[in-house]
Structure 1
Amino acid sequence: MKDKFITNTGVEIPLDKSGFVFVEENPRFKDSFWTNYTLPISVQYDRDFLSKFGQYSSHTNTGLKRYHEGIHLFEGKIRKGKLEIMEFRNNNLKLQIDSGFENLPNFDKKLSDLPLLEIEVTDIYEHANKIVTKKYPDTEYNFPRLYTDEYNLDDEAWKYFDSFINNRNNLESTTGEKVFPRNRVENGMDVYNKNIIHPMPYLLYVLQVGFMDAGFRLSGEILDDPYLKQRCIWSGTHYYIDAEQKEHKAAIYQEDFYETGMSTDYAAENSSAPEQGGKWKKQIRIGAPGRYRLIIDSNLNYNGQKYEGKIKISSPQIIDLQNLAEESLRNNNYHIEKVFSVSEAQALKGAEILIECSEYGVPNQEDQNGKSIGIAQIYINPMRQHTDSGVPIIYVFNENKINLKKAVPDMTFGDLVNTIKNLRNYDLEFIGNRAVMNIIKVDKTMPTVPFEEFEVPDPIRKFNDKSFFNLKFPDVEDIQTQNIFIDDQGYHMNYKNVPSDATEININVFCLPMTYFRGVYTAKAYSENALMLVYYDGLKNGDNNASNPEGLMDESLAQNLVGWYKNRLTNFSYKWKFVVPKNKIRKYNIRSEISCYNKKHWIKSWTKKSLSDTLYLVEIETETF
């Protein structure tokens, strides 16, 4: 099978001729993933190529594509690829091909755009109480209790809040068992924001969904990594929705009549009645629970006469406003008052009030300042749920649904994968439909692949270009993060005098720290632009408190990483060129661990230049271990 690129439109570009150069770098030696690529290739036009690929030879043509998706056939392997047009002239163009899967198509996709779990539940409080007894992989998410100091407990909205997200206790239980306290409004007047229910997806679940979204199944050591397996993701954002009781005011004007020309016996008896009447209706949506007072006022006076009307108030959700009889407004100014209550469930769905009225076309009226106030005025006034200064008190809704799209931080899937790669020193390799993530280890007992036949007499040898590594975690107020500095002697925690030539690797992740509050020992919630992890593996002594076992962001992590980084500082780099038949080099790949020059090597990078249909000129760079 000859090397070629085939676009999705069927255009074939041969790559087995002289001049084609393929560059590949080992992602183990980078702090991010990327695609393999070719150096720019010059392609001559012919009529068939232009008709299928695009009229790049024309100076007047528009709408030419810069990128072409397709398949890269290389060394007998099929890779997805993308071809980029670098420049074009009258007779030829230059193009570059990116291929391989180290950079997935969805790496730029936000975590919230992944197909994460969305389900309805019957009762979120009871649902959370069942889920907290489980751990991953028996559940994709959980409800660990977190302490938060975000809310002012002296505020009317939070005076009943205990400063815990996913709070669980037996203070309101009728059986003595621990439950999640419910938010409610008592007596239609007092707002009890007792709890914030916030599901947190497990890290491994989000990783699996991300790779599945790209067509791969996650496998490898990462699925059983004891430091990651029971880690949940804390988004640092508000998952709940809130609403406040609002006053509603509306005026009805003659122009609001949607049906005119009414006629009644009363009109026949009163020659001075307006000839034109009509019907109007008004729909109002209530968004917060509590008690309300509905008031409707109108004046049916016209030229000293009083006229009639009929009004109907209804609501499909609010029980207090259901089955009300139609009221007659004949010969009277009308003033109607109704007191009603809206429950949390009704407010979440949107409690609708419909007011329908038929009356004679009395002209729009004016207030004492001469301002038009229409033919009717509607007021819906909340009863009590305001502070003494008149500020509305919000109500926290814990919806009966799980939406993990709302429970992830504002970061891309690629950022998440790269963060975990750097945190635990993972490699990512694609084998068939599997995305394999294994920890990169320095194991000198592992067998290597013989590479001696490609030795040259005098390769370039040098010390590695790295002198120091500094693994840096986010700076978070009140958290003593432990950066890891590594030199040829080993690791140092929070090293103060980091040399300017140290290679810095930023790892944008931290574990929520532990804290005591009111006798509860659990993790504290933060709001940072970083991946924030929470450890939770089920109830402990009946409590859903989070924990933070050793292994991440501490000396245990340094002990796990130092072998790899120290090896990179203390071994040597080799570089040489050789000519080889294409079919002999194809059994090796960029991750092959090879033996030559009486040493074991990792391939750091190589460049393959096609000299003919059968020969490569290979330039290879390795690091010993």
Structure 2
Amino acid sequence: MGITLFTEKFKLELSKQKVTIQESNSRMNDKVSTKFTFPFTTPMDENFIHSIGDYISLENVGIENVINCYAEVEGKISEAKLNLLDILDTELSGQVDFGFEDVPSFDKKLSEFNYGKFQVPDIYTYAKEICGLRYPDTNFNFPRMYTTKYSPDQEIWDAFDGYYNDLKPDGSEMRRNYIDSDLNIFNVNIIHPCPHLLYLLSQGFADKGYKLEGEILTDPMLQDAWVFSGTQYFNTLSQARYGFIFSSMEFNRLDLENGPDDYAFYEKEIIIKKTGKYTLRGIVEFWKASKMWADYVLVIDNQSVIWRKYDDSRGSILEKIPLDITINITKPDTKLTFRIYTQYHEDSWTHQISDLTLASDSLEDVEGVKEESNVVRNPNEIDLSRAVPDMTFGDLVNTIRSWFNYDIEISGKTVTMNRLDKDPENVKDWSMYQSVKPRRKLQQKRSFLLKFQDLDNDEKMNSMFYDSKGPLLNGKENSDTTTIEINGYPMPVSRAKENGYLTAAVKKDSTNTLALVFYNGLVAGQNNASYKSSCSFPELFGTNWLRWLRQRINGSAYEASFNVDIETFSQFGIKDYVYWHNNIHQFDTWTKDMISETEYKISINTETII
């Protein structure tokens, strides 16, 4: 009944080593924990060096300190990690973490799961159609959400009203980003899919062949809960832009003749890196003095003239000439040059003589183009791996548990998530250990604080403090308080702009927070989100937490240490309820110290259920 670590390459027997195993009950904290051993030592013989590696040689660098393997403990095989801590001569000190099946794929990023990726003909009309569906008819949706992340003071966002998934007022389709005839860019909308919370949970468990069941699938709080990731889902495309802007005082050369026949020469060159169709548009101010000549010319690679204005007549000319010229660039790194030769007047002539912009008709990634000329591209594609928070699946499960007070049980290939506000079931008899006299500690001084993480701009969600005196909204913790912090928040609903929409607002600019937006389909043709007070305090406390925490406040804590037969004790699990000393107990933690191949010395911490 010892511990054996193994892979295809090695087998490490720890049955004769002094190994201590600790487990904690996930019901009693806000984490789904793995089991682990306290550090142990083992000799590194020739077999160890051959199969695992030479950790004795001081010249051997770059060796692994974490080895993925399997652990056989009490006859059960589990995924494990062997953590190599330190080495003294031929003795290695290590620690084993195992029991990762408690949360299948718990350390896998949400973005690494396969949600399926597919193309759509037109995202602006497709998203509108999806808005009319509910889960499970669709696994993702497009609720309207307001954000202050993108400032209208930036040129790229000066047309943005602040809404993700902004439907047209007539509800026909999503508003489209566009470039007008004057080459002005209007980024008015960001299309951002929000996957359904239950879909993410189900897919995470299914990744390792598990099926999610339990009350969580029918919880009315979660039926219309969608996840906003905070990540950038859109792409940006650059419109290559170049300017021919001349001030009269920014000449390249003066040809002075000490009289009225003074000339100024202006020249500007740009290198067009990519081929394609470009539009040159703007104003040229053509100036020719009386009895003098002026020459304005645009030329490609010093060969092909694409526009020219020359005049040597006797009269003076001052006119604004609008240009709108299409230029086909057929080879990379084409040079376009604008030269101006006209009269120079030092005393009176200070103005702009050319204000032209050359812009590409195509949109693409162009090196060196400023962000202000970017166009927000909402791709005709659904890829939910880019629309999930930057967190692991284990983080997601733990956040749901600490938010809505759910437990997780795994039996075979079934994962059951039920709320922790039920009477104990399947209580096991512990009368065999009745002779053990535990230490009992009353829990009356115990307290709990349930709180959300702080939002941006020092905003806070309501928290709930609870002790033997009862619940207190936004109460303060003390030295005996157990704090359960929720890494998420329900998006509040407000009218963020005058004459704007009453819909959800992003309150935390974060990519690793679980932000839930509640949406139940189109209402009056619009995709505005709703708010659920049942998902925040104080209402959430009364429905999901009060009964469970009352049990923990009113019960007693027990501590005991005694020896047990390994084979007998292996029939009990850390999450079992046991009847002991005329009370129903649930385990908090236990430590098992292997003192022989058949015997543990255990140290247990339990709480009674009142």
Q: 2:433 aligns with which of 454, 473, 489?
A: 454
Counterpart in 2 of 1:355?
Answer: 331
What SS class does the counterpart of residue 284 from structure 1 fall into?
A: coil
Counterpart in 1 of 2:132?
Answer: 133
What SS class does the counterpart of residue 475 from structure 1 fall into?
A: coil
Offset at 1:525? 2.8
Counterpart in 1 of 2:66?
Answer: 67
Counterpart in 2 of 1:577?
Answer: 561
2: distance between equivalents of 1:51 and 1:433?
Answer: 36
For structure 2, list consecutive stretches of 5 or more residues without a partner in the other structure: 245-270, 283-296, 307-322, 342-355, 362-369
Offset at 1:481? 1.4
The normalised TM-score by structure 1 is 0.73
Q: State whether structure 2 residue 588 is matched by structure 1 residue 612.
A: no
Q: Deviations over 1:305-355 (max 9, x none)?
A: xxxx799x9xxxxxxxxxxxxxxxxxxxxxxx98349xxxxxxxxxx9533
Q: State whether structure 2 residue 182 is matched by structure 1 residue 204.
A: no
Letter in 1 for 2:74: E
Q: State whether structure 2 residue 510 is matched by structure 1 residue 544.
A: no
The normalised TM-score by structure 2 is 0.75
Q: Deviations over 1:511-539 (max 9, x none)?
A: 11111352632212334333211001222
**Contact 1:461–1:574 (8 Å) recurs in 2:** yes
* Higher deviation after alignment, 419-428 or 432-441: 432-441
1: distance between equivalents of 2:67 and 2:173?
Answer: 57
**Contact 1:479–1:513 (8 Å) recurs in 2:** no
2: distance between equivalents of 1:145 and 1:221?
Answer: 29
Over 3 Å counting, the alpha-carbon distance change for 1:231 and 1:15 in structure 2 is same
Offset at 1:608? 2.1
Q: State whether structure 2 residue 395 is matched by structure 1 residue 415.
A: yes
Letter in 2 for 1:597: H
**Contact 1:245–1:290 (8 Å) recurs in 2:** no
Counterpart in 2 of 1:589?
Answer: 573
2: distance between equivalents of 1:83 and 1:163?
Answer: 49
Counterpart in 1 of 2:217?
Answer: 223
Letter in 2 for 1:284: K
Letter in 1 for 2:79: K
Counterpart in 2 of 1:24?
Answer: 23
1: distance between equivalents of 2:461 and 2:508?
Answer: 16
**Contact 1:512–1:525 (8 Å) recurs in 2:** yes
Over 3 Å counting, the alpha-carbon distance change for 1:600 and 1:246 in structure 2 is same
Counterpart in 2 of 1:526?
Answer: 507
Q: State whether structure 2 residue 299 is matched by structure 1 residue 297.
A: yes
* Higher deviation after alignment, 448-457 or 155-164: 155-164
Over 3 Å counting, the alpha-carbon distance change for 1:113 and 1:465 in structure 2 is farther
Counterpart in 2 of 1:399?
Answer: 379
Offset at 1:399? 2.1
2: distance between equivalents of 1:128 and 1:42?
Answer: 59
Q: Deviations over 1:234-277 (max 9, x none)?
A: 23354333456442489xxxxxxxxxxxxxxxxxxxxxxxxxxx
**Contact 2:436–2:562 (8 Å) recurs in 1:** no
Over 3 Å counting, the alpha-carbon distance change for 1:9 and 1:157 in structure 2 is closer
Offset at 1:409? 3.3
Give the total of aligned pairs.
Answer: 525
Q: Deviations over 1:105-148 (max 9, x none)?
A: 85455444444443221100111111111112221211111234
Letter in 1 for 2:133: K
Counterpart in 1 of 2:487?
Answer: 508
Q: Percent identity?
A: 33
Alignment of 1:366-385 (within 5 A): 381-382=358-359
What SS class does the counterpart of residue 33 from structure 1 fall into?
A: coil
Alignment of 1:201-350 (within 5 A): 201-213=195-207, 216-243=210-237, 245-248=239-242, 284=274, 292=280, 297-298=299-300, 339-340=325-326
Counterpart in 2 of 1:12?
Answer: 11
Counterpart in 2 of 1:35?
Answer: 34
Alignment of 1:42-81 (within 5 A): 42-81=41-80
Letter in 2 for 1:520: Y
Counterpart in 1 of 2:448?
Answer: 469
Over 3 Å counting, the alpha-carbon distance change for 1:55 and 1:145 in structure 2 is closer
2: distance between equivalents of 1:239 and 1:563?
Answer: 41
2: distance between equivalents of 1:448 and 1:136?
Answer: 37
Q: 1:426 aligns with which of 398, 406, 427?
A: 406
What SS class does the counterpart of residue 208 from structure 1 fall into?
A: helix
**Contact 1:454–1:578 (8 Å) recurs in 2:** no
Q: Deviations over 1:461-500 (max 9, x none)?
A: 11249621111212334855110111113221112x4334
What SS class does the counterpart of residue 86 from structure 1 fall into?
A: strand
* Higher deviation after alignment, 474-483 or 572-581: 474-483
What SS class does the counterpart of residue 37 from structure 1 fall into?
A: strand
2: distance between equivalents of 1:162 and 1:142?
Answer: 20
Over 3 Å counting, the alpha-carbon distance change for 1:44 and 1:474 in structure 2 is closer
**Contact 2:202–2:211 (8 Å) recurs in 1:** yes
**Contact 1:151–1:158 (8 Å) recurs in 2:** yes
Q: 1:602 aligns with which of 571, 580, 586?
A: 586
Counterpart in 2 of 1:264?
Answer: none
Over 3 Å counting, the alpha-carbon distance change for 1:72 and 1:195 in structure 2 is same
Q: Deviations over 1:139-193 (max 9, x none)?
A: 121111123455667987667655432222454xxxxx63323233343545444
Q: Deviations over 1:440-467 (max 9, x none)?
A: 23415x3411111122242211124962
* Higher deviation after alignment, 521-530 or 73-82: 521-530
Counterpart in 2 of 1:499?
Answer: 478
1: distance between equivalents of 2:522 and 2:514?
Answer: 24
Over 3 Å counting, the alpha-carbon distance change for 1:501 and 1:611 in structure 2 is closer
Offset at 1:57? 4.5
1: distance between equivalents of 2:14 and 2:42?
Answer: 10
2: distance between equivalents of 1:88 and 1:149?
Answer: 53
Alignment of 1:41-190 (within 5 A): 41-101=40-100, 107-149=106-148, 161-171=160-170, 178-189=172-183
1: distance between equivalents of 2:54 and 2:555?
Answer: 52
Over 3 Å counting, the alpha-carbon distance change for 1:229 and 1:299 in structure 2 is closer
Letter in 2 for 1:524: A
What SS class does the counterpart of residue 551 from structure 1 fall into?
A: helix
**Contact 2:464–2:541 (8 Å) recurs in 1:** yes
**Contact 1:493–1:555 (8 Å) recurs in 2:** yes
What SS class does the counterpart of residue 415 from structure 1 fall into?
A: helix
Letter in 2 for 1:225: D
What SS class does the counterpart of residue 528 from structure 1 fall into?
A: coil
2: distance between equivalents of 1:162 and 1:92?
Answer: 65
Over 3 Å counting, the alpha-carbon distance change for 1:118 and 1:290 in structure 2 is farther
* Higher deviation after alignment, 26-35 or 514-523: 514-523
**Contact 2:445–2:467 (8 Å) recurs in 1:** no
Counterpart in 1 of 2:285?
Answer: none
**Contact 1:56–1:89 (8 Å) recurs in 2:** no
**Contact 1:594–1:601 (8 Å) recurs in 2:** yes
Letter in 1 for 2:299: D
What SS class does the counterpart of residue 539 from structure 1 fall into?
A: coil
Over 3 Å counting, the alpha-carbon distance change for 1:401 and 1:383 in structure 2 is closer
Over 3 Å counting, the alpha-carbon distance change for 1:356 and 1:503 in structure 2 is closer
